[in-house]
Every structure is written in structure tokens, then in C-alpha cells.
Chains A and B, each alone.
Chain A
């Protein structure tokens, strides 16, 4: 890879990083993954145009692969900070002046709160309905559950982990 192509690649990665950060701060009604994907597409178009203008298309595949890899690692880094419950607990520990937390507090204030957030998200997406009679899947949620169950079955995922929760058993009438 020559120095021109390297500069173009570095600029495209920088464009992606800046664009993602600006868009995330702008609070647009776009999901974070959508922001990452759109920004990666824009920076790819920018890189492709520059490679063509500066006659560096011989390095196209190397630059494209490196940009895709950088965008993917960036997305993984973002996801860790955005969703990780472990990191949320670590941050709470560091904020507390004694650097200590009670496990009951962690359970109620971090885990349960996260569960409630996700439950609200599922309800807002029309997958689940919560009413005085209880919590149940909507028709849309039931269809999605069937699809996800089929994907799990295809991948042969076994109920051997915490996140592979069994369906709640039916009540005996």
C-alpha cells in the first residue's frame, strides 16, 4: 500500500469515527446500529471516490477490508459500553466513594432496572402487552418468538446457559 492510499484509508476511518460520534450526540431517532451502518457506508463512498481520484484503485480491496474491520471493531467497542451490565456495575463501583456495593443493590438497581428497561422496550415495539391481567406476547411478539426459536434450533443452541431461559410453564387449570 502506498502512502497516498494509506492516507485515504486513515481519513475514511477518521470520517467514520467523527460521523458516528456527531450523529450519536445529535439524538436523531435512528437506532445506534443504523447510525454505525450509515456512517460506514458514507465513509466507504468517500474512500472509494478518493481512491479513484488519486488513481489508487489497485489497493481497493485492502483498503475496503481494513475500513470494514475498523468499523466492526468500533461497533463492538460501542456495544460493550452501551449494553454491558458488567461494565455498568464496574462504573457504579468506581463512583461510590467506598468503592464497594452490596450485591442486593446490584441485583435491584442494575439488573432489575435493566430488565424493566428491556420489558418497556419490548412493549413499545408491540411485542409484549402488559395489562392488569398480566404480561403476554402480542401476535407480533408470538411470530417473532417463533422465528427466533427456529434460529436457535438451527444453531443447535442448548439450554445450558443463563440466557437460554426455558418458557414459563403453563398454569394447571
Chain B
């Protein structure tokens, strides 16, 4: 009932399956500052490269490589599946390495307990605590041009930022997400 998968689809599954190994490998390369994010993009590029090679490159009996003609729908199916595999791997990778709740849990690895939740929160982010977390998260809005700082205050920038915020509220209601507003 299920037709045999075309080569582009098999290649996407293989390339997606190598992503965790490539991520582990690339994280150990000397890539300078921002190693983690550069390592991620390098692993993604290598994975896409593996897919391209397996899908498009074939070898003649004489040993000479050539570009194999592949139907467009097979290319699209393979590319979409590769994108899905990358997004799945990205979700697990980012959650394990940078998840907020995961980081909170790992902070308590030492044998000694913290006094209370306040001390736990204060130790977050190498002792930066909640102010450091606030600066980090607000930084996303500043870089996106949605907000600007005004002394110790934060201010919406344009009507576009306001409309975007209202759109987020609308989507939150559609998804039944509480406590956004």
C-alpha cells in the first residue's frame, strides 16, 4: 500500500540521521567565538551536502561521476523530509543544550541543596540571575526592532510592533494559551 521510497527520500532520511553525529563532531571543531551556533550551521550544511550527493551524483561503469536527472516531485519530497529531520534534531538539540527548565535542573547537580527558590533563581546564568535572563530575552526584541530601551525602561517602537503584539495575542487565543496577556 506504500510505494517504495524514491532515492531522494532515502537520502533525506540518511542525511537527517547523520545530523546528531555531525552536531557532536562540529561542536568539537575550533570555530572561534559562537562555536555552538556555528557548529550547528556547519552540521546543517554538511547534512544538506550529503543529501545532494546521494540524490544527484551517480557513477558510470567507467567510474566517472555524473549528475543524475531526478524528477522535481522527488526533489521536493526529499528536501521537505530533510527539513523536517533537521527541525526535529534542532528541537532535541536546543532543548537538551539550552533548555531553560533543563538548565534549572542541571544547576542542582551538586550534592548541596540551595536554600530556597529565590537562591536557585539568583544562581541562574552563572550568578546573573533573573536580571541577566531579562536582559537576554529583551535583547531579542531590541535586535528585532520591536522595542527600545529608555533608561531603565523598555518601550514599544512602532505601530508595527504593536500590531505584531496583537497578532501574538490573537494566535495565543486560537491556541488556548493562557497568561499571555
Contact = CB atoms under 8 A, between A and B. Distances in A.
A154 interface: yes
B132 A136 contact: no
Nearest to A92: B181
Nearest to A166: B126
Contact of A164 (B9, B98, B172): B98
Given A25-B176, A81-B175, A155-B96, A128 B154 contact: no
B110 A169 contact: yes
A57 B153 CA distance: 58
B104 A168 contact: no
A170 B35 contact: no
Contacts of A128: 105, 108
A142 to B, nearest CB: 8
A112 B108 contact: no
B74 to A, nearest CB: 7
A170 B36 contact: no
Contacts of B172: 81, 91
Contact of A106 (B102, B134, B140, B176): B134
Interface in B72-121: 73-74, 76-78, 80-81, 83-84, 87-88, 93, 96-117, 119-121
Contacts of A101: 153-154
A149 B84 CA distance: 26
A167 B138 contact: no
A137 B109 CA distance: 7
Contacts of A85: 133, 137
B105 A148 contact: yes
Contact of B97 (A73, A103, A115, A164): A164
A77 interface: yes
Contacts of A118: 100-101, 104
Contacts, number: 274
Interface stretch (B53-61, B62-70, B156-164): B156-164
Interface in A83-106: 85-91, 93-95, 99-104, 106
A157 B123 CA distance: 20
Contacts of B146: 90
A166 B3 CA distance: 50
Contacts of B154: 89, 93, 100-103, 106
Contacts of B98: 157, 161, 163-164
Given A115-B121, A168-B114, 12 more contacts: A27-B176, A61-B9, A72-B83, A72-B87, A99-B162, A118-B101, A130-B117, A135-B114, A149-B106, A151-B97, A156-B28, A167-B106
Interface of B: 1-3, 5-6, 9, 12, 20, 23-24, 27-28, 34-36, 39, 73-74, 76-78, 80-81, 83-84, 87-88, 93, 96-117, 119-121, 123-126, 128, 130-138, 140-141, 146-147, 149-150, 152-156, 161-162, 164-166, 168-169, 171-172, 174-177, 180-181
26 contacts: A52-B1, A59-B73, A64-B77, A68-B81, A87-B180, A90-B168, A94-B161, A111-B137, A112-B121, A112-B130, A115-B133, A135-B120, A136-B108, A136-B113, A137-B105, A142-B109, A145-B108, A148-B96, A148-B102, A148-B105, A155-B24, A165-B107, A165-B126, A168-B114, A168-B123, A169-B110
